């Protein structure tokens, strides 16, 4: 049986105490961040955010989950330009539909198929409030969403080049359960974003 020296035991005990203490503090920070707002979480909000974001971000609260109540779909189309200057507009491509098809029936769907496009749209929507100037990160959100759309659509063919890209977002309220008397209009409502020009920097590293 191995016998540890006194200095070694001191080091091991100290390391164990540090690990246990760090784990306890981390779990406490996650708990306070997820729990309803209180005096402690308000006082240390910046410190809690520094621990949680971005690796442990979540969209629910510990005691009051807020599930999605809408189906959001994102479509995209591009305009291509030929050598003679002829501009061609492609049909809408269902970006969300392709993600759903990749997830459905897949026992281990990828994070990209489940969340990339949805989070990109949430980022853009949050930084572009109605009738207001975009938030400071609005340009980054637009570039991110544009590159995702271009990557999904793919390069132009036949010597043409991509000229512009446009996105369309459909929002439909989820139908209430059959036992509910609530009346909800479930018809999708569409919002078309403006055409965005496509430059060489937008295509770099996509394919």
Average confidence score pLDDT of the chain: 87
What's the pLDDT tens digit per position in 54-97? Answer: 677 666 666 666 667 889 999 999 999 998 989 999 999 999 99
- Shortest CA distance to 173 belongs to which of 163, 183, 185? 185
What's the pLDDT tens digit per position in 5-17? Answer: 888 888 999 999 9
Residue with tokens 């990828």, as numbered in its chain: 110
What's the pLDDT tens digit per position in 28-62? Answer: 988 888 888 888 888 888 888 888 876 776 666 66
- Answer yes or no: are the C-beta atoms of 162 and 127 closer than 8 Å: no
pLDDT for 63: 64
- The share of the chain scoring above pLDDT 70, in percent, equals 93
- Answer yes or no: are the C-beta atoms of 57 and 46 closer than 8 Å: no
Q: Where in the chain are the domains?
A: 6-52, 70-203
Rounded distance between C-alpha atoms, residue 32 and residue 78, angstroms? 45
CA distances for 40 relative to 36, 97, 168, angstroms: 11, 43, 42
Q: DSSP for 107-144?
A: SS--HIIIIIHHHHHHHHHHHS-TTSPPPTTHHHHHHH
DSSP letter at 69 equals: -
């Amino acid at each position: 049986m191995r016998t540890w020296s006194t200095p070694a035991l001191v080091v091991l005990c100290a390391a164990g105490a540090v690990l246990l203490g760090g784990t306890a503090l981390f779990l406490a920070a996650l708990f306070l961040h997820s729990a309803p707002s209180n005096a402690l979480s308000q006082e240390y909000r910046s410190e809690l955010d520094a621990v949680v974001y971005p690796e442990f971000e979540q969209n629910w609260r510990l005691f009051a989950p807020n599930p999605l109540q809408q189906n959001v779909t994102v479509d995209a189309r591009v305009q291509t330009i030929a050598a003679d200057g002829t501009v061609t507009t492609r049909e809408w491509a269902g970006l969300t539909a392709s993600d759903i098809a990749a997830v459905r029936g897949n026992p281990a769907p990828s994070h990209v198929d489940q969340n990339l496009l949805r989070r990109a749209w949430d980022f853009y929507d949050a930084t572009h409030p109605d009738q207001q100037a975009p938030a400071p990160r609005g340009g980054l959100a637009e570039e991110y969403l544009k590159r995702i759309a271009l990557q999904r659509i793919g390069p132009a063919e036949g010597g043409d080049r991509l000229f512009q890209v446009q996105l369309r977002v459909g929002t439909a309220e989820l139908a209430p359960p059959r036992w509910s008397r609530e009346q909800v209009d479930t018809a999708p409502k569409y919002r078309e974003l403006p055409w965005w020009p496509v430059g060489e920097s937008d295509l770099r590293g996509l394919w």
